[in-house]
Structure 1
Amino acid sequence: MKKLTLSLFALVLMLALAACGSTKEEDKPADNAAPEDKPAEESKEVTIKHELGETTLEKNPEKVVVFDFGTLDTLDELGVEVAGLPQTNVPGYLSKYEDEKYENLGSLKEPDFEAIHALKPDVIFISGRQSDLYDQFTEIAPTIFTGVDTSRYMDSFKENMETIATIFDKEDEMKTELNDVDASIEGIKAKTAELDSNALIILGTEGKVSAYGPSSRFGIIHDVFGFKPADEGIEVSTHGQNITFEYILETNPDILFIIDRDAAIGDGSAKDSIENDLVKKTNAFKNDKMIYLNGEYWYLSGGGLQSFKEMIKEVESAL
C-alpha cells in the first residue's frame, strides 16, 4: 500500500513539474514571431523641414558646425558643444568661441569650405547670409536653415528653437524657456496697448541711416511687442528703407529705436552722426527716448535664445 501511495505521489509531482515547464515556454516569445510582434527600437534619426528643404540626420550629432550666431547662442544656452564656426565678428557675449579649440571656418559671408570639409561635421546650421550656398554645404553634411522669417517672427523663432531642441533632446528645457519668453512678451504688450506714443526704428552706419517698419528685419518691435509705428508706409526690406535726417524730424517719433551697426561690427559708432541738430528737435530726443539697441543682439545674432531674451529686456526699457 505504501509503495502504491509513493508511486501516485511521484506521478502527480512529475505532471505538476511538466505543466510549469510548459507554462514558462509559452510565456517566451517565439523565435519566429513576426517583426510587428516584437518591440520596435526607437529611431535615432530625425527629419527636419526648414525653409530651404528637408534634412535627415542622426539625433545628438557630435561634430556641430554653426554659421548662424543666433543658433550658436541657443546651443550655448542649452549646453551643446560646437566644433567649428566663422570666428570673424563673433558677438562679445559669445567671445569664448574665438578660442583656438574651435575650428575657424572663415566668415559669415565667405565660408572656408576646405576647412569645413576637413572637419567632417555631422550637421551644419546656416541662416540668411549663407542661403545661396546651401547646396555646397549639403555636399559636406546635413545642413539646416535656421534663419528667422521676419514676416512671422514668433512662429519662425519658435520653430527654430523646437528644431534645435528636437535634434539635441532638449524639448523639456526649451518648453520652459519659450513659456518664459511668452510671459515676458505679454507683459510688454499689456503696456504698449495703453501707450499713446509711436516709435521709429532706424539703423545707423557710416553716417547714413535706414528705417524699418512692420514685418521688416527689426519689425518685431511693432509686430510682436506692439509699439505703434510712426510711419505705416516704410517699405519692407532686409537692408531697410534709405532715409534722411530730415525724414526723422518730419516723422517726429516719440520713441526712436536705434541699431548702431558700426558699433556692432567694431567699426566705431554712429551715435555722433545720428544725434545731430535735426534729430535733437524730435520728441524722442526731447523726452529722452532715444533707445540704443545692442547691435550684437539685434544685428549679428538676432533670433537666438539668449539674444532674444536680451532683446526683450532692451525693448522693455523704452517703457
Structure 2
Amino acid sequence: MNLQLRSQRLRSRRWLPLTAIAISAAVFSAACGSTAADDKTDTPTTNSSVTVTHARGEVTVPATPSRVVVLGSGDAQMASALGATVVAAVANPSSADKNWPGTQPPLNSDVMTLDSVKPNVETIAAARPDIILATTAQQSYVDLYDQLTNIAPTIIYPTAAFADSGEDLLRLIGKVLGKEDQANTLISAANKEVIDFATSNPSLKNSTYAFGQYAGGTLYLLAAKENPSTRFLTSLGLQLSPEVAQLAAGGTANGFVTLTPELFSSLGTADHILVSTPGDPEGTQFRAVPLVSELGDNLHVISTDLAGALLTANPSSVNYLIDQLQPALA
C-alpha cells in the first residue's frame, strides 16, 4: 500500500499529554526530594568553570551551580537523580504532587512553580538560578533561549529536540552540575537493569513495535530511529517496525509522523503496538476505528504517564519505564 503521509509539524500543545505528562503522575513514592528555594544555599562552590556545546553554541558555567531551574520533564528526572538543588521546575498538571513520573526522589511541590508549556521569564528570574536546564523543554521555552541566557547559563539539547540519547543528556547535565561521576553511576545502573530485563524476556529480541499517540482522529506515530524512545525500546531487544520506519522517508517532526485513519494499516506489522489516548484512558474511540479493531492483543493502550516518560527516556527513569512497560511486553 502506497502510504501518502501527511507530515505536519507537531504543535507543543498537541503533544502536551506526552511531554507534560498528563503524562504524569504514576510516580514512585520515595524519600523527600529537593527542598524549597528558601532552604538552599545561594553560593556556588568554587570549582573551575565548565564549557559545553549544545545546539545553540558554547555555554560556560562559571562554577558548580547551587541553584538549578529545570524546564523539561526529563530535566527534572535527571537533575533530581543527580541530587541537584532544584529551586524552580515545570510542574506536572496531572499529578497531585506536581512531579513527573520517574522523578526519583520526587521534588518538593513548592518548587514546581512553572507551567510546562507557557514560559514565565519573570518567575524564572525570581528563582535566581545559577543554571537553567532545558534539554527536554517544550519548544516554547527553547524559543526564549536568548532571554533565558540573560538570566543564567542555559543548557538545551546537543543536536535537536527529542533526538539525543538519554545517556548523552545525562552526561551533559552531569558535566555542567559537576556531577559526572554520579551521572556515570546512574548510566551503569540503568544499563544493568536493561540487560537484566532483556535477559529475563528473551522473546522480545527482534520483535517489532510501534509507539505513538491518538488524539482528535489523528495518530502521531514515532517513525525516526534517532530519539530517546526508540533507543530505549531497542535496548530492550525490540525493533521499530520496518513499515513504520519507512514512513520517516516522508519527513518527521520531532521524530513523529501524522497518520489519518485510512493509513492505520501500518500498525498491523508490529508485534507490540503502544498507543496513548489522552482523554480516553481505555482507548475506546481508537479501538473503534476499523483498521484498529483488527489489531487484537498486539494493541496496548498505555497511559499518557508512560508515553510521556518514553518520550524523554533517560537512565534516571529506566526503573519506572521497565516497571510500567512489563505488563504490555510480557
TM-score by length of structure 2 reads: 0.67
* Larger helix share, 1 or 2: 1
Q: CA deviation at 1:311?
A: 2.9
Question: What 5-or-longer segments of structure 1 have no aligned partner?
Answer: 1-41
The alignment of Structure 1 onto Structure 2 pairs a total of residues equal to 265
User: Do the aligned partners of 2:221 and 2:257 also contact (CA within 8 Å) in 1?
Assistant: yes
Q: Which one of 121, 130, 145 corresponds to residue 156 of structure 2?
A: 145
Alignment CA distance shift 1:132-1:255 (3 Å):
same
Correspondence 1:83-232 to 2 at 5 A: 83-87=87-91, 89=93, 90-93=98-101, 94=103, 97=107, 99-100=109-110, 102=111, 104-105=113-114, 107-127=115-135, 128-129=137-138, 130-146=141-157, 149=160, 153-154=164-165, 157-186=166-195, 188=198, 191=202, 194-195=205-206, 197-215=207-225, 218-220=229-231, 224=235, 225-231=237-243, 232=245
Cα-Cα RMSD = 3.4
Greater Cα shift, 113-122 or 247-256: 247-256
Q: Which one of 300, 311, 315 corresponds to residue 291 of structure 1?
A: 300
Give the letter for the 1:306 counterpart.
S
Give the letter for the 1:272 counterpart.
T
Larger Cα-atom Rg? 1
Partners of 2:99 and 2:281 lie apart in 1 by: 16
Alignment CA distance shift 1:46-1:192 (3 Å):
farther
Q: CA deviation at 1:84?
A: 0.7
The CA deviation string for residues 219-259 of structure 1, in whole angstroms up to 9 with x for no partner, is 33665544141513212322722223443346513424324
Q: Which residue of 1 aligns with 2:16?
A: none
Q: Which residue of 2 aligns with 1:12?
A: none
Q: Which residue of 1 aligns with 2:74?
A: 70
User: Do the aligned partners of 1:64 and 1:82 also contact (CA within 8 Å) in 2?
Assistant: yes
Alignment CA distance shift 1:99-1:182 (3 Å):
closer
User: Do the aligned partners of 2:209 and 2:270 also contact (CA within 8 Å) in 1?
Assistant: yes
Partners of 1:115 and 1:150 lie apart in 2 by: 24
Question: Which of structures 1 and 2 has the larger relative contact order (alpha carbons within 8 angstroms, sep 6+)?
Answer: 2
DSSP-derived class of the 1:219 partner: helix
DSSP-derived class of the 1:215 partner: coil
Alignment CA distance shift 1:141-1:165 (3 Å):
same
Q: CA deviation at 1:80?
A: 2.0
The CA deviation string for residues 157-197 of structure 1, in whole angstroms up to 9 with x for no partner, is 222212222333433332222123333445639947854x4
